[in-house]
């Protein structure tokens, strides 16, 4: 059987798992998590979304799969709302362009929040610049609608896309995510450091939050902190894990 055929059955057979990776502030306190999809294939084992998301976008399967991800995230938020230790944490969910561009996307998200009882303010949607490459009017209308209900937006892989920067002032964006491709060699690469600094400066001057991903070492973290970055995500703080295996206690300064 091909991977596509297997994908059609994967939801029904409950082969998807949602992992969560923590995000911390400059004190090392957990502020939220990013939800990261995993596929536990019966023969091939754990498959990364990088290997199957493109296929789901071509086939439209990303829509039911994305629905499942949002349902899980909303359920977790509703659960966390009951505990003072977790009630302020956000969950960031990756949203594919295909998913966002569906006419009923806004309606669906709002319904899922309502149905689960999750606080919209704790849901963050991670979108990429590719979404902003066209039909900006339509995208803006949807984002504004969601934002007015309390949902926030983060631009994932910022700086790796092709879109113009002018959208930043037109859209209700809350956060820029520095791509891990700029963080990996930031200690030794002047170019990567310059780009990361430009993103941080841009974010600050526009009153946006900025988070660095792929933070693997203390050197990464300390340099980014000196550069003005206030939020971090990466293996230094924790790998993506199942909900049950997440350690949501504060991470002390490592
Ligand atoms: O966790 P990992 O590094 O394997 O993720 C690889 C890529 O898959 C990342 O770029 C991430 O944005 C994407 N991804 C992870 N989970 C989801 C999801 O639920 N929906 C979509 N559309 N993309 C996801
Ligand atoms: O593109 P996006 O940011 O949505 O995906 C994040 C991806 O990066 C996930 O697949 C996650 O597993 C991976 N990731 C998270 N932290 C680190 C890290 O510190 N180092 C590396 N190499 N990958 C990471
Ligand atoms: Mn992401
Ligand atoms: Na990214």
**Interface predicted TM-score of the whole assembly (ipTM), two decimals:** 0.95
Q: What is the overall mean pLDDT for the chain?
A: 94
Who contacts 146 (Cβ-Cβ below 8 Å, separation ≥6)? 106, 109, 110, 125, 153
Name the residue of 97, 213, 217 whose CB sits within 8 Å of the most ligand 2 atoms, as the mutation to test its pocket.
213
**Which ligand 2 atom sits closest to the C-alpha of 126?**
4
What sections of 41-116 are H helices per DSSP? 49-59, 62-80, 97-100, 105-116
Adjacent-strand bridge partners of 34: 21, 92
Ligand 1: which residues within 6 Å by Cβ? 36-37, 48-50, 53, 66, 69, 94, 96, 156, 240
- What is the per-residue pLDDT across 34-57, written as a single tens digit (0 to 9) for each? 999 999 999 999 999 999 999 999
User: Which residue ranges make up each domain of the chain?
Assistant: 3-245
Tell me the β-bridge partners of 30. 24
Q: pLDDT digits over 137-195, tens only?
A: 999 999 999 999 999 999 999 989 877 788 888 999 999 999 999 999 999 999 999 99
CATH number of 3-245, picked from 2.60.120.920, 1.10.1200.10, 3.20.20.450, 3.40.50.800:
3.20.20.450
Percent of the chain whose pLDDT exceeds 70: 97
Q: What is the pLDDT of residues 183-214, one digit of tens each?
A: 999 999 999 999 999 999 999 999 999 999 99
pTM of the complete model: 0.96
Phi then psi for 206, rounded to 5 degrees? Answer: -105, 15
Q: How many CA atoms lie within 13 A of 68 on its CB side?
A: 18
């Amino acid at each position: 059987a091909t991977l596509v055929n297997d994908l059609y059955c994967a939801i029904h057979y409950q082969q998807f798992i949602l992992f969560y990776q923590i995000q911390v502030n400059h004190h090392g306190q957990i502020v939220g998590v990013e939800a990261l999809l995993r596929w536990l294939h019966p023969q091939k084992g754990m498959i990364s979304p990088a290997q199957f998301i493109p296929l789901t976008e071509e086939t439209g399967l990303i829509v039911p799969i994305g629905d499942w991800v949002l349902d899980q995230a909303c359920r977790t938020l509703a659960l966390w709302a009951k505990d003072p230790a977790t009630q302020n944490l956000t969950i960031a969910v990756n949203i594919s362009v295909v998913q966002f561009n569906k006419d009923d996307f806004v309606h669906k998200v709002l319904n899922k929040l309502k149905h689960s009882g999750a606080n919209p303010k704790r849901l963050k949607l991670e979108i990429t610049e590719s979404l902003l490459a066209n039909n900006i009017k339509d995208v803006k209308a949807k984002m504004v609608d969601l934002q007015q209900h309390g949902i926030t937006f983060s631009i994932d892989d910022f700086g790796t896309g092709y879109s113009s920067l002018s959208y930043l002032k037109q859209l209700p964006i809350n956060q820029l995510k520095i791509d891990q491709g700029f963080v990996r060699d930031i200690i030794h690469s002047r170019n990567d450091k310059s780009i990361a600094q430009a993103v941080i400066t841009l974010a600050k001057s526009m009153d946006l939050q900025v988070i660095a991903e792929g933070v693997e070492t203390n050197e990464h973290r300390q340099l980014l902190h000196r550069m003005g970055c206030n939020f971090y995500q990466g293996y230094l703080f924790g790998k993506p894990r199942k909900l049950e295996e997440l350690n949501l206690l504060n991470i002390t300064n490592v």
